[in-house]
Amino acid sequence: MLCLDSEVFSALSTDITLINLLGGIKVYQPDQPNPAPDKNKFKAVVFEEISDPPASFADNKEVATRITYRILVYNWESLLPIMNAVERIMIGINFVRHSSSRLHELPVGMRGKEILFITLRECV
């Protein structure tokens, strides 16, 4: 089992374009405290690994795993610039975009999207 949380966090939280779009380093995991939604300030990217099943075996050992991350993008304005930055960053660390969908049950006026990214990694 591989954990890529630190790699994903590092990539997202050090990208100058994304930091500028979010108005600071606003990259979180679901178990971290998130700021209360403020219509003038709240923008965030929340990420979490949602699966890592074995992808291939050799000699009864797992040699590769398929890892899926869910990234949630929140903003009171347009989501597209933030989503484009997130996609560019994730592709840069060898993920591919799998799908995206609109988030429901958000405060009135807030927008949110869920994006799934997948990577295939060798087990070391």
- CATH at 98: 3.30.2000.10
pTM: 0.85
Q: Specify the higher pLDDT residue, 55 or 93.
A: 93
Q: Is pLDDT larger for residue 105 or for residue 7?
A: 7
Q: Residue 14's domain spans which residues?
A: 5-122
CA nearest neighbour of 106 among 34, 21, 23: 34
| Cα–Cα distance for residue pair 53/13, rounded to 1 Å | 26
In the predicted structure, residue 49 carries a pLDDT above the cut 90 = yes
- Provide the pLDDT for residue 3: 82
User: What pLDDT score was predicted for residue 104?
Assistant: 72
Total structural domains within the chain:
1
Residue 32's beta-bridge partner residues?
A: none
pLDDT of residue 39: 47
